[in-house]
């Protein structure tokens, strides 16, 4: 299934063996039947911040037992026993395990456990349990009370004081300050128990949620028919602050009442719950704030829910088809927090994975409807998301960690036919924790099998951009705003079984002015939405103009700032060194073995621009750390291109002779050539650098695979980029057969002048001499001005009786003699008028077939 549940605690496996051992040791009575009755009554009550789990059960006499499972020591201990037939509403224990708070009511005569009878008294008790001592009544009311101890620190807070929240069904929350003292050695007693100080935290709320990990209280009150979400942060001392207020565009009734994460309450009528709204708040360490809302379920063929992405400034309302309408409908939608994703599902009907870091494009979220494995194998019992990936199945008593199932998602990537699902699953897989190399290898294998099929997005581009992003994202905050996450800027294709509406929302109003940790990141996200005038995400096209300028100077042999170019090339050297350190093993193909100054310039420019971009917007991050992140990011990008190429090379089992010109290409080499062409198109479209040596390998395969006319078309259209290394090898490897002569000549005439002059010297052939002569004449006559001539041509004994050629050679001789220094070719001192004359005669002879 799409989610993988790893059990941290199982009530049956962790507690029952201990209870059996206790009874075998004479603690408690009864036999096997009594133990079975105990199991039937055994249930989890609460999970504290330190991970300790409080559970309860009844013996055959109806006495209520409280136990605690220490998640660190993996041990159980008995906390307290009420020798009456009572039903537990709520329970909490302090971190020292010296105080127990519990709310209880008397069981009904019929023995039903799911209803609170009118007129029943709810007792909220505070018990001294180390050792067992006094019991203090905190409340004795007709309405239900829930209790929760505050844990200012997970392991350690001042021993002398404890703080307890009381949440009343009458819609108020109080905080009790409980001072304790030690007597008679280890005996812990409540100090001045008759006058416990208390204060009102809030009142007139209709819904509340407890965040045990972060010690936050979220609640909703109604102001002039508006639902306002508020959050209180509790601190290590007695203080607490109202952190923010946010308006929710949802309709909540004053008569309604809902609690989330205040323990499990069997007294809540499950039928009522199914008709009640579902509301929950999720955060993560990047500063996200999501509010999930589902109204009362109405029978039909579709269901609606909303997600308020406050950290992005908008909400989305999704209407999903239910698939198999005739199957049994679960009680309500389940929302689970998966860090970068929210899971929303109704078992047997639909399963959604919502991308909360990048919710703008709906294709980055996965939407499944109907009887699919991802839906059918999910637990049908309601799961409660406690904190981060931790969830509790109240019915079975299992505490689990929920993760994206990487194996299933990779399999789904191969099998799905919809582009929207391919896009979503690709990003889901890359966000998974674990072995990044394994994930990338599997995705590359999938890309190579689907690269020639039509898709509404470029598989290579999306993989390179997304994987490079995830490689750097965890290293610092705000990367989601500064680095590209996807190659797409829009998505217009409809998603089957889903309709959605996006609306802008009012941003939360922060009520404090000093922020730390999560609150600092949330405030930064809100400030970004409020004041960001321009899009801050880096775009590699910013270097295009500068790169073209440097290439133009190189082609025209102009000298720019030597220090500037040297610095750019030094940047590229650092990237390649970082890449070589990342890849320790030998490569199958010869990349990074030639200078390829053009690609090195592009790599170095990208380093410079991206570094400047991050330095402008990452305030408070060390410059060295930013520089290293840039090197890691660009080296990762190049490494992904290399991985794709090497994977294809290995898949087609190509051998070293594929790198020579003088052999006929195989079908495998033809396939790799086309994959390289797709890689080139993807990189050029995003203006990304390619590994030095890529173009040389591409040209070698192009010469081997393509007919001459196709090859020249690829060269003229810019698909094949002639490099000095490739053409040099071409001249040396191929002999001078008629076909090869035609190929060599066609290549040479397409070379830039500076490279062409070098290459022509390697080919001892009239064609080469002809080209050298042409270039020499072109340069000599570039600034020539015709002057009147008074003398006739002086025929020497060695002159050929060909008047036009004799006249032309005399002009060249005069120009050379008049300014020998200006018109001498660098490295071609033997090229002169005599050389031109001989080359012209040889070429004419060859053309005439003489």
Whether 237 is in a domain gets the answer: no
Which of 763, 795, 826 terminates a domain? The answer is 763
User: Tokens representing 656?
Assistant: 């070293």
Q: What is the pLDDT of residues 197-230, one digit of tens each?
A: 999 999 989 999 999 999 999 999 988 778 999 9
CA dihedral 321, 324, 327, 333 (to 10 degrees): -30
Please give the residue that has the higher pLDDT: either 677 or 552. Answer: 677
> Mean pLDDT across the chain, nearest whole number?
84
Q: 293 and 505 in contact (C-beta within 8 Å)? A: no
Whether 657 is in a domain gets the answer: yes
Please state, for a pLDDT cut of 90, what percent of the chain lies above it. 47
The C-alpha atoms of residue 290 and residue 304 are separated, in whole angstroms, by 17
Q: 116 and 265 in contact (C-beta within 8 Å)? A: no
SS (H, E, C) 255-322: CCCEEECCCCCCCCCHHHHHCCCEEEEEECCCCCEEEEEECCCCCCCEEEEEEEECCCCEEEEEEEEC
| Mean pLDDT score, 81-108 | 88
**Which single residue is written with the structure tokens 């993996």?**
74
How many beta carbons lie within 10 A of that of residue 645, not counting itself? 24
The C-alpha atoms of residue 411 and residue 309 are separated, in whole angstroms, by 30
* Total domain count, the chain: 2
Query: Residue 24 belongs to what H/E stretch?
Result: helix 11-24
Residue 583 contacts by C-beta under 8 Å, 6 or more apart in sequence? 639, 642
Q: Are residues 661 and 605 in the same domain?
A: yes
Q: Is the pLDDT of residue 821 over 60?
A: no
- Structural domain boundaries, residue 725: 544-763
Whether 797 is in a domain gets the answer: yes
Among 173-187, 516-530, 765-779, which is the least confidently predicted range? 765-779
Whether 305 is in a domain gets the answer: no
The C-alpha atoms of residue 279 and residue 263 are separated, in whole angstroms, by 16
Q: Are residues 683 and 803 in the same domain?
A: no
Whether 42 is in a domain gets the answer: no
Question: What is the pairing mode between strands 258-260 and 205-211?
Answer: parallel
User: Tokens representing 59?
Assistant: 């013996």
| Mean pLDDT score, 518-538 | 87
Query: Residue 827 belongs to what H/E stretch?
Result: none
Q: Are residues 614 and 672 in the same domain?
A: yes
Q: What is the pLDDT of residues 4-28, one digit of tens each?
A: 899 999 998 999 889 888 877 766 5
Q: Are residues 671 and 797 in the same domain?
A: no
The C-alpha atoms of residue 848 and residue 844 are separated, in whole angstroms, by 6
Q: Which of 839, 713, 717 is nearest to 773 (CA)?
A: 839
Which of 733, 763, 793 terminates a domain? The answer is 763
Q: Are residues 611 and 581 in the same domain?
A: yes
Q: 167 and 101 in contact (C-beta within 8 Å)? A: no
Q: What is the pLDDT of residues 535-580, one digit of tens each?
A: 788 999 889 888 888 888 776 666 667 888 899 999 999 999 999 8
Q: Which of 85, 89, 9 is nearest to 18 (CA)?
A: 9
Q: 340 and 365 in contact (C-beta within 8 Å)? A: no
Which of 729, 763, 797 terminates a domain? The answer is 763
Q: 532 and 563 in contact (C-beta within 8 Å)? A: no
| Mean pLDDT score, 44-65 | 90
Please give the residue that has the higher pLDDT: either 226 or 640. Answer: 640
DSSP 733: H
The C-alpha atoms of residue 429 and residue 408 are separated, in whole angstroms, by 10
What confidence category does residue 788 fall into, taking pLDDT thresholds of 50, 70 and 90? low
Q: Are residues 705 and 808 in the same domain?
A: no
For 666-682, give one letter per residue: b (16+ CB within 10 A) or e.
bebbebbbebbbbbbeb
Residues 715, 720, 725, 731, CA torsion sign: negative
Q: Are residues 810 and 755 in the same domain?
A: no
Query: Residue 595 belongs to what H/E stretch?
Result: none
Query: Residue 126 belongs to what H/E stretch?
Result: strand 122-129
Q: Is the pLDDT of residue 158 over 60?
A: no
pLDDT for res 826: 46
Q: Are residues 822 and 695 in the same domain?
A: no
List phi, psi (to 5°) of 374.
-60, -25
Range among 28-37, 517-526, 588-597 rated most confident: 517-526
Q: Is the pLDDT of residue 412 over 90?
A: yes
What confidence category does residue 269 fall into, taking pLDDT thresholds of 50, 70 and 90? very low
What confidence category does residue 533 fall into, taking pLDDT thresholds of 50, 70 and 90? low
Q: Are residues 584 and 626 in the same domain?
A: yes
What confidence category does residue 823 fall into, taking pLDDT thresholds of 50, 70 and 90? very low
The C-alpha atoms of residue 222 and residue 225 are separated, in whole angstroms, by 6
Residue 442 contacts by C-beta under 8 Å, 6 or more apart in sequence? 410, 429
Whether 632 is in a domain gets the answer: yes
pLDDT for res 640: 96
Q: 355 and 364 in contact (C-beta within 8 Å)? A: yes
Among 49-58, 115-124, 126-135, 656-665, which is the least confidently predicted range? 115-124
Q: Are residues 756 and 794 in the same domain?
A: no
Q: 231 and 201 in contact (C-beta within 8 Å)? A: no
Secondary structure (DSSP) of 539-568: -GGGGHHHHHHHHHHHHTT----HHHHHHH
pLDDT for res 832: 60
Q: Are residues 719 and 688 in the same domain?
A: yes
Q: What is the pLDDT of residues 308-335, one digit of tens each?
A: 999 999 999 999 988 665 555 556 789 9
Secondary structure (DSSP) of 191-245: TTGGG-EEEEEEESEEEEEEETTTTEEEEEEEETTEEEEEEEEE-SSS-EEEEEE
Residues 268, 272, 274, 276, CA torsion sign: negative
Among 323-332, 636-645, 751-760, which is the least confidently predicted range? 323-332
Among 150-164, 261-275, 469-483, 652-666, which is the least confidently predicted range? 261-275
Question: What is the pairing mode between strands 172-183 and 161-168?
Answer: antiparallel
pLDDT for res 819: 63
Whether 530 is in a domain gets the answer: no
SS (H, E, C) 648-703: HHHHCCCCHHHHCCCCCCCHHHHHHHHHHHHHHHHHHHHCCCCCCCHHHHHHHHHH
The C-alpha atoms of residue 319 and residue 307 are separated, in whole angstroms, by 12
Q: Could you give the residue ranges of the DSSP H alpha helices within 458-561? A: 459-472, 479-482, 518-531, 544-555
Q: Is the pLDDT of residue 794 over 70?
A: no
Q: Which of 106, 34, 20, 97 is nearest to 66 (CA)?
A: 97
Among 177-181, 459-463, 555-559, 658-662, which is the least confidently predicted range? 555-559
Whether 696 is in a domain gets the answer: yes
Q: Are residues 718 and 600 in the same domain?
A: yes
Q: Is the pLDDT of residue 274 over 50?
A: no
């Amino acid at each position: 299934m799409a989610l993988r549940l790893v059990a941290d605690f199982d009530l049956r496996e962790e507690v029952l063996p201990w209870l059996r051992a206790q009874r075998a040791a004479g603690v408690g009575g009864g036999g096997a039947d009594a133990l079975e009755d105990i199991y039937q009554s055994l249930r989890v009550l609460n999970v504290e911040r330190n991970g300790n789990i409080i559970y309860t059960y009844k013996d055959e006499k109806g006495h209520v037992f409280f136990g605690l499972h220490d998640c660190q020591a993996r041990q159980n201990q008995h906390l307290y026993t009420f020798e009456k037939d009572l039903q537990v509403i709520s329970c909490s224990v302090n971190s020292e395990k010296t105080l127990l708070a519990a709310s209880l009511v008397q069981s009904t005569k019929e023995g039903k456990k799911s209803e609170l009878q009118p007129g029943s008294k709810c007792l909220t008790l505070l018990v001294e349990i180390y050792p067992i001592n006094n019991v203090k009544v905190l409340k004795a009311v007709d309405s239900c009370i829930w209790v929760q101890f505050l844990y200012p620190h997970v392991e350690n807070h001042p021993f002398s004081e404890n703080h307890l929240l009381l949440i009343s069904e009458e819609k108020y929350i109080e905080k009790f300050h409980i001072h304790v003292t030690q007597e008679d050695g280890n005996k812990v007693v409540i100090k001045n128990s008759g006058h416990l100080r208390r204060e009102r935290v809030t009142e007139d709320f209709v819904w509340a949620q407890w965040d045990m990990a972060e010690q936050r209280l979220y609640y909703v009150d109604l102001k002039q028919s508006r639902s306002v979400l508020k959050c209180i942060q509790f601190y290590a001392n007695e203080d607490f602050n109202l952190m923010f207020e946010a308006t929710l565009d949802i309709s909540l009734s004053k008569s309604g009442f809902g609690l989330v994460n205040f323990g499990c309450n069997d007294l809540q009528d499950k039928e009522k719950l199914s008709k009640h709204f579902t509301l929950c708040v999720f955060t993560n360490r990047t500063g996200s704030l999501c509010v999930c809302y589902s109204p009362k379920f109405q029978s039909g063929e579709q269901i609606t829910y909303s997600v308020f992405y406050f950290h992005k400034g908008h909400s989305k309302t999704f209407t999903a088809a239910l698939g198999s309408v005739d199957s049994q409908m679960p009680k309500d939608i389940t929302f689970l927090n998966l860090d970068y994703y929210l899971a929303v599902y109704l078992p047997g009907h639909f399963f959604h994975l919502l991308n909360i870091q990048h919710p703008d494009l709906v294709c980055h979220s996965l939407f499944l409807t109907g009887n699919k494995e991802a839906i059918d194998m999910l637990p049908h019992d309601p799961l409660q998301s406690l904190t981060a990936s931790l969830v509790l199945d109240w019915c079975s008593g299992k505490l689990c960690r929920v993760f994206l199932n990487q194996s299933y998602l990779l399999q789904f990537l191969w099998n799905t036919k919809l582009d929207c699902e391919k896009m979503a699953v690709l990003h889901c897989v890359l966000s998974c924790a674990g072995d990044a190399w394994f994930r990338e290898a599997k995705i590359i294998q999938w890309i190579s099998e689907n690269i020639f099929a039509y898709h509404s997005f470029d598989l290579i581009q999306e993989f390179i951009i997304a994987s490079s992003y995830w490689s750097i994202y965890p290293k610092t905050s705000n990367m989601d705003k500064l680095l590209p996450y996807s190659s797409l800027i829009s998505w217009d294709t409809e998603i089957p079984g889903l309709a959605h509406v996006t609306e802008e929302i009012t941003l939360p109003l922060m009520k404090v002015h000093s922020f730390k940790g999560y609150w600092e990141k949330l405030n930064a996200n809100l400030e970004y939405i409020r004041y960001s005038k321009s899009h801050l995400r880096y775009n590699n096209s910013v270097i295009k103009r500068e790169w073209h300028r440097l290439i133009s100077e190189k082609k025209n042999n102009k000298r720019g700032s030597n220090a500037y170019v040297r610095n750019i090339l030094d940047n590229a050297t650092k990237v390649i060194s970082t890449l070589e350190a990342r890849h320790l093993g030998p490569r199958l193909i010869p990349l990074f073995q030639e200078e390829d100054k053009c690609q090195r310039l592009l790599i170095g420019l990208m380093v410079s621009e991206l570094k400047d971009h991050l330095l402008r917007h990452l305030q408070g991050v060390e410059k060295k750390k930013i520089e290293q992140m840039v090197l890691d990011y660009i080296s990762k990008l190049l490494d992904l291109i290399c991985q794709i190429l090497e994977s294809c090379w290995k898949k087609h089992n190509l051998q070293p002779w594929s790198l020579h010109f003088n052999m006929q290409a195989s079908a495998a080499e033809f396939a790799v050539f086309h994959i390289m062409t797709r890689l080139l198109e993807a990189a050029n479209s995003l203006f990304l650098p390619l590994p030095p040596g890529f173009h040389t390998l591409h040209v070698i395969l192009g010469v081997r695979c393509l007919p001459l006319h196709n090859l020249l078309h690829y060269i003229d259209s810019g698909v094949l980029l002639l490099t000095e290394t490739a053409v040099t090898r071409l001249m040396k490897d191929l002999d001078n057969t008629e076909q090869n002569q035609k190929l060599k000549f066609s290549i040479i005439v397409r070379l830039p002048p500076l490279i062409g002059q070098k290459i022509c010297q390697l080919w001892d052939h009239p064609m080469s001499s002809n080209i050298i002569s042409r270039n020499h004449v072109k340069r000599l006559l570039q600034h020539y001005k015709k002057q009147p001539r008074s003398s006739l041509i002086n025929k020497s004994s060695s002159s050929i009786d060909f008047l036009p050629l004799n006249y032309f050679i005399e002009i060249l001789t005069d120009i050379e003699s008049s300014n020998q220094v200006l018109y001498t070719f660098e490295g071609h001192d033997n090229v002169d008028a005599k050389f031109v004359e001989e080359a012209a005669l040889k070429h004419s002879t060859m053309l005439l077939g003489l």
